[in-house]
Structure 1
């Protein structure tokens, strides 16, 4: 994927994770409640679709949740599918 130097960042003020690649911003919105981070929406601009940006974004978001000692719940279909494909994050799910 292009933009290997891009990094997932946690924008706590806006309750989302962000990944900027080639001037395009992918987002993963969440709600935090009682130690549970619920991912509600993932958005990838058309220019980034098919390039693995959303997977990279969610991977970084899940690593952040783990580092913060949070559990994860997904109502976003992309995150649900990602968690099914990546059992290494099963310790985070409720």
Structure 2
């Protein structure tokens, strides 16, 4: 698992992963709303789908938001569903 990065010039969080099926990237496009990041879309490259990488990415994103004092506002269905299953990260929700 690579470092979690915030590509602010692209409004995108990104992270690299290795899985049994190969190497790839997971990312989330976001819109800035004050101190919040509205999560518009989460996607994993084809080789990572079904490997659990997207869930690990979501955890990294929540921990990054907690560390940086950011709030997340999930809009895409995957991010909404992940947060419903992980109430221990409710403190980072906008």
TM-score range, shorter chain: 0.7 to 0.9
Residue 4 of structure 2 is aligned with which of 5, 8, 27?
8
Using structure 2 for the length normalisation, give the TM-score: 0.84
> What TM-score does the superposition give when structure 1 sets the normalisation length?
0.84
Distance in 2 (alpha carbons) for counterparts of 1:58 and 1:75: 13
Please, which runs of 5 or more residues in structure 1 have no aligned partner? none
Shift of 1:21: 2.3
Q: Which digits, 9 at most, give the CA deviation of each residue in 1:36-88, with x for residues without a partner? A: 11100011122101111111111111111111212211111111011001011
- Alignment-derived partner of residue 15 in structure 2: 19
User: 2 CA distance for matches of 1:24 and 1:88?
Assistant: 27
Superposition RMSD in Å: 1.4
Aligned pairs, how many?
90
